[in-house]
Amino acid sequence: MDDIKLSIPVFITKEGDSYVTYSPALELSSYGDTIEEAKEAFEDAMQIFIEETIKKGTLEKCLLSLGWSLRKLPVPLYDPPSLNTIKESFNRVLQSDVKNYYDTFLRIPAWDMALKPCPRKKWIAFLKSQGLEYQRTTKHEIWDRKDNSLLRPVTFRPKDREIPPTHIHTNLVTLGISHKEFNEIIKKL
């Protein structure tokens, strides 16, 4: 799967002796002595933001908390927050001394690269470790928590020896578990 590439707006303002680059869509800023230096610094800060939130397993949670939306089907696609969602931040930009505006490209690595197929036995052990119980089998095995606290059950086909990464991902979203957390749990099982 290819990386997800998105265009996001970046504003450049003058604050004291510094040029500040700021994107309300990420609540991210940097600065430099010149406009070019500020742009380069923003690109570096954005790369750090992506790399570090991926390492922590918090990228998706972070983007969602900033008002982004994620459509998972037919392919994953992130949508930046609308101006209404980031109105307070955007108003702050409009009240400052805006010197320039440009779009930069945010590259989000395809999420399934962090996940590998999981053997069925390990997947079941993982589900049990998360307090899920087998409910029944149709064309899929259906697993849920005893208290039915999940918004939807976790499912997988009983005939498969491995669970594919995309299917793992959608079920992790149901469970509220990051890829990093999942990989750490699987290593211990």
Q: What integer pLDDT is reported at residue 115 of this predicted model?
A: 77
One domain for residues 8 and 98: yes
One domain for residues 102 and 141: no
Backbone phi and psi for residue 162, each to the nearest 5 degrees, phi listed first: -130, 150
One domain for residues 82 and 38: yes
One domain for residues 14 and 86: yes
User: pLDDT tens across 55-112, in order?
Assistant: 777 887 888 888 887 766 555 566 777 666 565 655 665 566 666 777 787 777 665 4
Compute the mean pLDDT over every residue in the chain, rounded to the nearest whole number: 82
Structure tokens at 100: 């320039």
Q: How far is residue 69's CA from residue 80's CA, in Å, rounded to a whole number? A: 7
Query: Which range marks the domain in which residue 9 is found?
Result: 4-111
One domain for residues 95 and 170: no
Q: pTM for the whole thing?
A: 0.57
Q: Which amino acid is at 91?
A: N
Q: What is the CATH number of the domain that holds 28?
A: 3.30.160.250
- Crossing angle of the two packed helices 120-129 and 179-188, in degrees rounded to 10: 100
Question: Last residue of a domain, which of 111, 137, 171?
Answer: 111
Give the other-Cβ count within 10 Å of 132's Cβ.
20
One domain for residues 106 and 122: no
Q: Which span out of 2-16, 72-86, 155-169 was modeled with the highest average pLDDT?
A: 155-169
Q: How far is residue 159's CA from residue 120's CA, in Å, rounded to a whole number? A: 9
Question: Last residue of a domain, which of 90, 111, 132?
Answer: 111
One domain for residues 141 and 101: no
One domain for residues 120 and 105: no
One domain for residues 76 and 28: yes
Verify cis geometry, omega within 30 degrees of 0, for the bond prior to 80. Answer: no
Q: What is the CATH number of the domain that holds 170?
A: 3.30.920.30
Give DSSP secondary structure letters for 107-172.
Answer: EE--GGGG---EEHHHHHHHHHHTTEEEEEESSSEEEEETT--SSS-EEE-TT-SEE-HHHHHHHH
Is residue 28 classed as helix, strand or coil in its secondary structure?
strand
> Looking at the 3D structure of the chain, how many domains does it have?
2
